[in-house]
Amino acid sequence: MSGPSSLPTTVATGAPQQAEAAQSQVQEMTYAEAIREALREEMRRDPRVFLMGEDIGIYGGAFGVTYGLIDEFGEERVRDTPISEAALAGCAIGAALTGMRPVAEFQFSDFMAIGMDQIVNQGAKLRFMFGGKAQVPVVFRAPLGSGTGAAAQHSQSLEAWFAHVPGLKVVLPSTPADVKGLLLSAIRDPNPVIFLEHKLLYRYKGPVPRGEWTVPIGQAEVKRPGKDLTIIALSIMVPRALAVAERLAEEGIEAEVVDPRTLRPLDEETLIASARKTGRVLIVHEAVLTGGFGGEIAARIAASEAFYYLDAPILRLGGAETPIPYNRTLERRATPQEEDIYQAARRLLQRRPL
C-alpha cells in the first residue's frame, strides 16, 4: 500500500512552531515512523514520558509503531501490560495524576470500550470534580478504522463517543507531519488526549520535519485550497478527498479540502470560513453516519453566518448503518471510498443555489 502520489498542499498558518520548523530538516517517512519519532524525541526530552500497552515492547505493538523503542528506553519506559484494558487506562490516569506523562496504547480503538469507565468517568472528569485542582496529562493512542479485513470488533471509528465528553481532547491526524506534530502537542498537553490513528494511514508516506515540530491541538488545516466546494474530511478520508479533488481539478472544479484534525476542541472558524467561501459543503468520515461527528460539523456551519452563503444543503457522507463486515467487498461498501466521495461531490455541485 502506498500513500497518495501528490502530497497535501500545506497552507501556511503563520503559527510560530510551523514557521520555525519550516527551516529545519524535512524527511520523508511513514505515518507510523512519524509517531515513533515523536515518541522517541519526547521520551529523550522529558523523563516523565513513558509508554504502556499490550505487546508494545519487543513485539513493537500490533502495528509495529513502537518497534525498537524498548532498545533505547528499556522495559521500564516501554512497558508491556497484561491484556487488561481497564487497568491500562486507569493506571495511566493514576500515573498522570501524580507527575508522570504516560502514553497508553490500545491495540485497537474498539478495545477502549473495555477501559471506557476509566477514560470517561475518571480521566476526563477528575480535574473538574476536584475543582480544577488536578491535572491528568495522559495520551491514549489507538488505531481506528476499517480496510484490513479485521471485521466488526477491530474496525470501528468511535471518535464521536469521545468527542461527546467534556474534559477529553480528541485528535485524528491524517498525515505523517500532522501525526508527529499533534502527538508532541498531545503529550505536552495537561489534559487527557484521545489520539486516534487510522490503521490504513500507518504506511502512508509524507514529509515530516525533523526535531522540534508541533501542530497545535484545536487547529484545522486547509489541505488544498479551492473555491467551488468544501470537502471536510476526517482521518483516512483526507487522502481520499485529496485524490478526489485532484480528479475534480482535471474537470475544472476546484475543491477545497479541510481537515479539522482535532474534534474537541473544534476549530469551527476555519470550517465556517471555508463553507462561506465555497457555498457548498460535503462532510466525509468513516464513522457510521448516525450520531457521527459530521452531524456536529454540519450543525455548526448551518448555525453560523455561513448559512447565508450556502448554495446547497450540507451533504454528509459516512459509514453505513452496519457493523463492519469481514468480506472485502462488503467492507469497502460499508465506508466511503474515493468513488463515493467523487459522486457525492458531483451531486452537491449539481444542486442549484437555494
Partner 1 sequence: MSEAVPALSPEQMRSLLQTMYRIRAFEEKVDELFMRGEVHGTTHLSIGEEATAAGALQALRPDDYITSTHRGHGHCISKGADLKLMMAELLGKETGYCRGRGGSMHIADVASGNLGANGVVGGGIPIATGVGLSIKMQGLDRVCLCFFGDGAANEGTFHESINLAAIWDLPVIFLCENNQYGMSMSVRKAMRCETIAQRAVAYGIPGERVDGNDVFAVYEAVARAAARARAGQGPTLIEAVTYRYKGHSKSDQNRYRTRDEIRAWQERDPIKRLTAYLREHSLMTQEEIEREEAAAYQAIEEAYQFALASPEPDPDSLLEGVYA
84 binds partner 1 (CB under 8 A): yes
**Residue closer to partner 1 (CB basis): 131 or 353:** 131
**Interface segment toward partner 1; rule CB under 8 A; list 165-173, 272-280, 317-325, 327-335:** 165-173
Binding mask 174-213 toward partner 1 (x if CB under 8 A, else -) reads ----------------xx----------------------
Closest approach, Cβ 142 to partner 1, in A, equals: 17
Total chain residues near partner 1 (CB under 8 A):
40
122 binds partner 1 (CB under 8 A): yes
Closest approach, Cβ 99 to partner 1, in A, equals: 6
Span 22-51, contacts to partner 1 by CB under 8 A? 50
Closest approach, Cβ 178 to partner 1, in A, equals: 21
- Integer angstrom CA distances of residue 102 from 186, 209, 217, 247, 351: 11, 24, 18, 43, 49
354 binds partner 1 (CB under 8 A): no
**Residue closer to partner 1 (CB basis): 164 or 346:** 164
For the question of residue 256 being annotated catalytic, the response is no
**Interface segment toward partner 1; rule CB under 8 A; list 25-33, 123-131, 221-229, 333-341:** 123-131
Contacts of residue 140, Cβ cutoff 8 Å, sequence gap at least 6: 89, 92, 104, 106, 112, 119, 192, 193, 194, 195
For the question of residue 154 being annotated catalytic, the response is yes
Contacts of residue 244, Cβ cutoff 8 Å, sequence gap at least 6: 231, 255, 338, 341, 342, 345
- Given the residues 37, 85, 159, 197, select the one marked as catalytic: 85
Nearest to 273 by CA among 298, 317, 311, 305: 305
List strand residue ranges (DSSP E) for the chain, in order: 26-30, 49-53, 78-80, 101-105, 139-144, 169-171, 193-198, 205-209, 221-224, 229-233, 255-259, 262-264, 281-288, 315-319
The helix or strand, by DSSP H or E, that contains position 84, with its residue range, turns out to be none
Selected binder of partner 1 within 33, 62, 103, 127 (CB under 8 A): 127
- Given the residues 154, 198, 286, 296, select the one marked as catalytic: 154
- Which residues partner with 221 through β-bridges? 259
Selected binder of partner 1 within 5, 23, 98, 350 (CB under 8 A): 98
**Would you call 135 exposed, middle or buried from its count of C-beta atoms within 10 A (0-12, 13-18, 19+)?**
middle
| Cα distance between residue 264 and residue 316, in whole Å | 19
Which residues of the chain form contacts with partner 1 (CB under 8 A)?
Answer: 50, 76, 81-82, 84, 86-87, 89-100, 102, 117-118, 121-122, 126-135, 137, 166-167, 169, 190-191
